[in-house]
Structure 1
Amino acid sequence: MQDDNHSLSTKAREILEDSSCNLYLSISSFWEITIKQSLGKLKLEYTLDELSGSCSANNIFILPVQISALNILKTLPFLHRDPFDRIIISTALDMGFNLISKDTKFHNYEVNIVW
């Protein structure tokens, strides 16, 4: 299931391949994938069920959206307009997680970015 994505940074790839790291993926990422697929903007070679199964098989935990993250979200400045990215940022802030992303707009927030 893992795409051999050559656009990943060396640091991001190291973290993703390190079995001692706890990895998390927001359910909002699945929501965004679903919307983009329904609009015809994203084609994948696998289903959401297969993606979820791959996450489980690779010890990637799928995080629900927590009320505590929504409380952070409502006070988050609108420096990034994408609603899915904003919930990912607020979740990382809420949980104290590092966030793997090459999105430069994420640096506008006080979240630890790895890339």
Structure 2
Amino acid sequence: MRYLLDTHIFLWWLVDQPKLSEATKRVIAASDNEIYVSAASTWEMIIKSAIGKLSLPPSPQGFIREQLRINRMLPLPITIEHSLALATLPMIHKDPFDRMLIAQTIFERMVLITDDPVINSYPVTVFSAE
């Protein structure tokens, strides 16, 4: 199965956040699942780190790359098709990063791991992280 991690789920995984359910941990850790992290999430983390809303190590780009490698997670680039898919989404969710994750999940036929209840308003397959 192919899963896309919401940005906060990726971060929760890295710090072993207690909010992350055991079922979610099993899905992420299962060797037969493909776990993806979107370029939208790395973009969001870099921006939030730069403005002081997220604490990352001094070299966030190196840290993120290393965590993807260590955790055997796959990068998901943002394509033109993903951007165009945004046009089909109603303006329920206002966060541009989450909207891109939703578009990518739908377009790529993945399952999005999140605990954001607003995302359930879209025609997307969600695995609830809590």
- Same structural fold, with TM-score higher than 0.5 when normalized by the shorter chain: yes
Aligned ranges 1:9-88 → 2 under 5 Å: 9-45=21-57, 47-88=60-101
Q: Percent identity?
A: 30
Which among 103, 110, 114 is matched to residue 116 of structure 2?
103
Deviation of residue 99 (structure 1)? 0.3
Tell me how large the CA RMSD over aligned residues is. Answer: 1.5
Contact 2:38 2:77 in 1 (8 A): yes
Unaligned runs of 5+ in 1: none
Partner of 1:92: 105
Higher relative contact order by CA 8 Å / sep ≥ 6: 1 or 2? Answer: 2
What are the Cα deviations for residues 32-91 of structure 1, in whole angstroms up to 9, with x where unaligned?
111111111111246221221221232211111011111111221001000000000000
Kindly report structure 1 stretches of 4+ aligned residues shifted beyond 2 Å. Answer: 44-48
Partner of 2:5: none
Contact 1:36 1:42 in 2 (8 A): yes
- Distance in 2 (alpha carbons) for counterparts of 1:2 and 1:79: 29
- Distance in 2 (alpha carbons) for counterparts of 1:71 and 1:9: 33
Equivalent pairs, count = 115
Letter of the 2:99 partner, please give it.
R
Contact 2:57 2:63 in 1 (8 A): no
Q: Quick check: 37-46 or 80-89, which moved more?
A: 37-46
Contact 1:28 1:87 in 2 (8 A): yes
Unaligned runs of 5+ in 2: 1-12
Partner of 2:10: none
Letter of the 2:55 partner, please give it.
K
Richer in strand (by share): 2
- Distance in 2 (alpha carbons) for counterparts of 1:54 and 1:38: 19
